[in-house]
Structure 1
Amino acid sequence: MSDTSGTTASAESPETPKPLRVLIGADTFAPNVNGAARFAERLAAGLVARGHEVHVMVPAASRKHGTWPEVYEGQTVTAHRLYSWRWYPHDWLRFAMPWRIKQNSARVIDEVKPDVVHFQSHIITGRGLGIEAQKRGIRIIGTNHFMPENMLEFTLLPKGFQEWAVGLAWKAARRTFGRAEAVTTPTRKAADFLEKHTGLTGVHAISCGIDADNYSPNWEPRTENRILFVGRVTGEKQIDVLLRALTLLPAELDATVEIVGGGDQMKNLQQLAVTLGIADRVVFTGYVTDEELREAYHRATVLAMPSIAELQSIVTMEAMASALPVVAANAMALPHLVHDGENGYLFEPSNAQDLADKLKVVLEASPEEFERLKKESIRLIAAHDINRTLSTFESLYRGEPVADPVTEDASATRSE
């Protein structure tokens, strides 16, 4: 082949898109343990692994603030930790100063000079970054993980003012997300919810995604009936419903509950376990390492997710990747992950008897039926591959049109 033809072939080959400089803003980030923080962490690490330069602007986790490298999942991101205060009605939340957020956002944006700004919350960092990025003509992507109702118990507002406060919060969300070129949230139901309360249109449903390779199924025969809950130990998770359901299970099942996570309701739930007479059957582990969490999934027979306020539930996805059946509240986005009768069961929210009945079905399942439920969890989680999520966000960052990944109709394609 001549040199000329070689040159022509090279010229016709598609160019590899240049790496991007991405600035991610979040009001909650590591070391916080919650779905929004975990997603922002995994997004940042995944983008760096793909060759992009990633900066995060987040509240400082202590009194120490400034800019330095931080490592997540083996990848280095540049963290711009803002001076923060502790919000004492909450057990761990720290927040950046609202009255300084525009100044801080301008400073960080001018230092980083990002190609795109992607904020994860409209409350403080998203508001500041949106205003300052818009002034500079920088592309803005906004993702919502937040329901104002979830924070009411931490505001100390009287009940009579809470509805008014929620209305103000949604109006603030409309202003901030309205500055974004594209708005996303983890599921179609969450997208519909956001559109309904803000008046926005065209919200994308993009799964938070999960690297299923980080989790491994346990196919060994069951040796106990262990019900697992993982998440923040707070009111909207309705863990009290799970404890009450435990008392309604047949004694011969000898079922136990393991609660992994920490939060402001820990002492109340420990006392409730004593009151219900099940303290010897409930284990509160508190916060655990990633490796300890994987071991908890391995020990468990079934994941119980009684929460009524999940916009997706990374925990449920992790459990599915670990081949656990799931019994979840038929609320918000959980039915998108838990397909009733396929990889678990849905129960009426807040109904301890219905939760107990559905747990009983799983715990009494034959070995063949139990294995079927486990295999269905593995099959259904495949649609939530994090690489698909990362590719979709890369396209949004470049201003390219995207089709929302299909993650919610996997049951329609189930092979016979």
Structure 2
Amino acid sequence: MNHPAGHKPLTILIAADTYPPNVNGAAQFGYRLARGMTKRGHDVHVLAPATESGASHTEAGGEWSVHRLRSHSTPTHEYWRICLPWEIRRDVSMLFDRIQPDVVHIQCHYMVGEYTLYEAVKRGIRVVATNHFMPENVNPFLPFPSWFKEIVAKNSWRDMGRVMGKADAVTTPTPLAAKAMHDHAFLRKVLPVSNGIDSSAYELKPGEDIEPHPHPTVLFVGRLAEEKHINVLIDAIAKTPVELNVHCEIVGGGEVKPALQAQAARLGLGGRVKFLGLASDEVLRIAYLRATLFCQPGTAELQSLVTLEAMSAYTPVLLADAMALPHLVDGGENGYLFPPNDSDQLAARITELLGLPSADLERMGKASRSMAEKHDINASLATFEALYYGALTEDLLAEYI
């Protein structure tokens, strides 16, 4: 294995506050980062909360080591678990003693990321910090009034700056997210590095023939959470012309699923809105390949890997004009933006696109694929590897936002 500037393989510790089997973008990135760095010849260790009650432990088997910290469930989230500082400090320190990491890569400024960073800084170990967080991601799980949530958000940004400001390098998936961290967390040097995607995984294999749906279908993939605004998509489906017979597939699980199912039934869409639940990689891949359009109505997306996956499958997209999503749309070329929470405009765009000749939709799908290929995961892995070695030039570092 060749490494930058002839460097030897590293022992890498990835600290993640959410990791599979959790289903969200940050968890998937942590998994793909571990897999990618392992394939590049490094000794990779992942540190994450345990998925159930019990002592800290190391999972058996696997291509890389996964170490689980004692954790506790939260009453407002179906799978999110928290680690308490006084319960994990010693275990984190003992893990450092055992594996002797060359570099630490934290994925969040919360407990696991924070105390792993503190241990690394104390030992003089290089730290890279990546942010996947927006305050809007946790708002639905805080049973407080809006004014109090604003205080929590302000404090969250402040804590992010305090923790990640100690890292040797700070990254986030998009330039827009980097600007938000600059403006709200007061981090002066944030490098936009795409989470990356393997586009080849979402195209037809040689000799493969996957039939499209018999009716136009709009696909959503993601956690069924308040900030995803899937209710807006369901409302929009109900507002499209009846003769178009527009269907919708929703892949994912989450706390608002019962409310969404009730909404679809109330609007008489029981036969046109299908909830697929949590899907395997292959089922998800086929859903992307069969869909006519992909829609992401969320308003707190730092990048949206699922949108990039859909684009890799040659699918036109309809995305809310919010956070990082505008970076994934070239208006009229691969899809359109619509005003956040505006089901009328979304319905109009769905109707407009489904009225186009198939050749135009095919052209837009090809444009989506071309845009997705710019987020090749190998380029992202190479950038992170260079950050681990401290091999990026001062000229590039000076371009941080």
Cα displacement (A) at 1:103:
2.6
Contact 1:320/1:326, CA 8 A, preserved across alignment = yes
Cα displacement (A) at 1:101:
3.5
Q: Deviations over 1:118-162 (max 9, x none)?
A: 000001111101111101000000000001222022122333321
Describe the SS at the equivalent of 1:279: coil
Residue of structure 2 equivalent to 1:122: 109
Cα displacement (A) at 1:221:
6.9
Cα displacement (A) at 1:254:
0.4
Distance verdict in 2 for CA 1:252–1:165, change over 3 Å: same
Q: Deviations over 1:205-226 (max 9, x none)?
A: 0000001121115897774201
Does 2:304 correspond to 1:318? no
C-alpha distance in structure 2 between counterparts of 1:160 and 1:376, whole Å: 42
Q: Partner letter of residue 345 of structure 1?
A: Y
C-alpha distance in structure 2 between counterparts of 1:99 and 1:276, whole Å: 50
Residue of structure 2 equivalent to 1:7: none
Q: State which drifts further: 276-285 or 38-47.
A: 276-285
Contact 2:212/2:291, CA 8 A, preserved across alignment = no
Contact 2:57/2:69, CA 8 A, preserved across alignment = yes
C-alpha distance in structure 2 between counterparts of 1:15 and 1:131, whole Å: 29
Distance verdict in 2 for CA 1:398–1:385, change over 3 Å: same
Residue of structure 1 equivalent to 2:179: 192
Residue of structure 1 equivalent to 2:9: 19
Residue of structure 2 equivalent to 1:289: 280
Instruction: Indicate which of 352, 365, 370 corresponds to 1:374.
Output: 365
Instruction: Indicate which of 171, 175, 183 corresponds to 2:158.
Output: 171
- Please give the root-mean-square deviation of Cα atoms over the aligned residues, in Å: 1.8
C-alpha distance in structure 1 between counterparts of 2:195 and 2:152, whole Å: 28
Instruction: Indicate which of 210, 227, 230 corresponds to 2:218.
Output: 227
Instruction: Indicate which of 167, 181, 191 corresponds to 1:180.
Output: 167
Instruction: Indicate which of 82, 86, 104 corresponds to 2:69.
Output: 82
Q: Deviations over 1:33-64 (max 9, x none)?
A: 10000000000000000100000110011235
Cα displacement (A) at 1:70:
5.1
Distance verdict in 2 for CA 1:115–1:256, change over 3 Å: same
Q: Deviations over 1:1-48 (max 9, x none)?
A: xxxxxxxxxxxxx96321011000010000001000000000000000
Q: Partner letter of residue 40 of structure 1?
A: G
Contact 1:141/1:396, CA 8 A, preserved across alignment = yes
Q: Structure 2: 5+ residue runs without aligned partners?
A: none
C-alpha distance in structure 2 between counterparts of 1:263 and 1:392, whole Å: 33
Residue of structure 2 equivalent to 1:413: none
C-alpha distance in structure 2 between counterparts of 1:228 and 1:345, whole Å: 15
From the CA coordinates, give the structure whose radius of gyration is larger: 1
C-alpha distance in structure 2 between counterparts of 1:53 and 1:362, whole Å: 48
C-alpha distance in structure 1 between counterparts of 2:192 and 2:5, whole Å: 29
Q: Deviations over 1:184-204 (max 9, x none)?
A: 000000100111111111200
C-alpha distance in structure 1 between counterparts of 2:104 and 2:48, whole Å: 13
Q: State which drifts further: 331-340 or 203-212.
A: 331-340
Residue of structure 2 equivalent to 1:410: none
Describe the SS at the equivalent of 1:311: coil
Q: Partner letter of residue 201 of structure 1?
A: R
Cα displacement (A) at 1:102:
2.9
Does 2:233 correspond to 1:246? no
C-alpha distance in structure 2 between counterparts of 1:101 and 1:131, whole Å: 12
Distance verdict in 2 for CA 1:104–1:339, change over 3 Å: farther
Cα displacement (A) at 1:181:
0.6
Cα displacement (A) at 1:349:
0.6
Q: Equivalent pairs: percent with the same residue?
A: 45
Q: Structure 1: 5+ residue runs without aligned partners?
A: 1-13, 407-416
Residue of structure 2 equivalent to 1:145: 132
Distance verdict in 2 for CA 1:208–1:69, change over 3 Å: farther
Distance verdict in 2 for CA 1:114–1:193, change over 3 Å: same
Residue of structure 1 equivalent to 2:354: 363
Residue of structure 1 equivalent to 2:293: 302
Larger RCO, structures 1/2 (Cα 8 Å, 6+ apart): 2
C-alpha distance in structure 1 between counterparts of 2:314 and 2:128, whole Å: 33
C-alpha distance in structure 2 between counterparts of 1:363 and 1:100, whole Å: 55
